[in-house]
Amino acid sequence: MDDKKKTQLGFIHQFIPSNNSKGNSSTLLLLHGTGGNENDLIPIARMLSPANGSILSPLGKVLENGMPRFFRRLSEGVFDIEDLKFRTNELADFIENASKLYSFDLEHIIAVGYSNGANIASSLLLLHPEILSTAILFRPMVPFIPDTLPNLISKNIFICAGKWDPIVSRQNTENLFDIFKKAHANVSIYWQKSGHELGQEEIVAAKEWLSHHIS
């Protein structure tokens, strides 16, 4: 992919096209954690990749002490809600424009987010449910509590949480699960025996879950 394409949509990003000749595969939207970049989750995407799907991986535009993020926070676990909503809308526009530039199907986008990336993926589900069909959320928190819940009846969501996560409490994880459940999403939680870091077992579990929730 040339450098012009990588920047012309407003986000530095990676796009790796599908090698599925039928052209009807899903696109994995990769959303990295704080301090990550657009390449971080590609190895995980390769493990999860349904039918050799496309990969779209943007770099977060907000810097916190030099570390890329997708939106600002006021302190650990305290989000700048106005900025979160602005950045969520901005990300939704990027995805729509990328679908035109790279000719992938907006009906089959699977978010794979870790930590900060999982949080903005959750925000996308709440503010722009039309953008995502499926989401795998590693270590997400409740991004915000909407005044009105969207209808997520057709959405499949897999939450991967750490039993001993020092950043995301069990209660916060369960609150997010409840929000998605009340919005009628098909949502599951997998509890990994770890902290905030990712573990091999949950990636395997996410791959197995995904294989049962995509066509």
Distance, CA of 4 to CA of 208 (rounded, Å) = 36
β-bridge mates for residue 159, sequence order: 137, 189
Annotation marks residue 122 as catalytic: no
The reply to whether 115 belongs to the active site is yes
* Known catalytic residue at 196: yes
Check 128, 184, 196, 213 and give the catalytic one.
196
User: Which residue out of 57, 133, 165, 194 is catalytically annotated?
Assistant: 165
Catalytic entry in 115, 122, 123, 194: 115
Mind telling me the catalytic residues? 115, 165, 196
